[in-house]
Amino acid sequence: MERTLILLKPDAVQRRLIGRVIGRFECKGLKVIGMRLMQISDELAATHYEAHQGKPFYAGLVQFMTSGPVVAMALEGNKAINVCRKLMGATFGSDADAGTIRGDFGISDGFNLVHGSDSPEAAQRELELFFDASDLHSYDLIDDKWNATE
């Protein structure tokens, strides 16, 4: 099973979309193995988004991500990274298809509600930034056998 980080950004929290967004991931069959409501520090935001340092949008991104609480989630499931990215939709809400989180709940190109890891390497790095190993939990669900790969 693959693991990934999902962040519900300050705009999702402010718009009271936490339950609806988490429900999308759970209904798809992904397992929440860690979750916390937190305020991201400037240092954590800088580390998390270090690949974007020097880009024109970097300062605004860090300011936005530290402007209010976020929900950090560790999800697990078959092809979790790809599945989550499909559920989130295109980066800009104005481009996202209906039926995706960004397509159904957002139209902004600057405030896009959620972040998801884009590769196994990024997921491992990001999960380690937001969670200690003891914060991630393994447990069985009744439908695990239905979601298993052959």
Q: Which residues are designated catalytic?
A: 115
Contact indicator for 72, 7 with CB cutoff of 8 Å = yes
d(CA 79, CA 11): 27
Q: Which residues contact 56 (CB under 8 A, 6 or more apart)?
A: none
Strand, helix or coil for residue 56: coil
Rounded-to-5 percentages of helix, strand, coil across the chain: 45, 15, 40
d(C-alpha 63, C-alpha 141), whole Å? 38
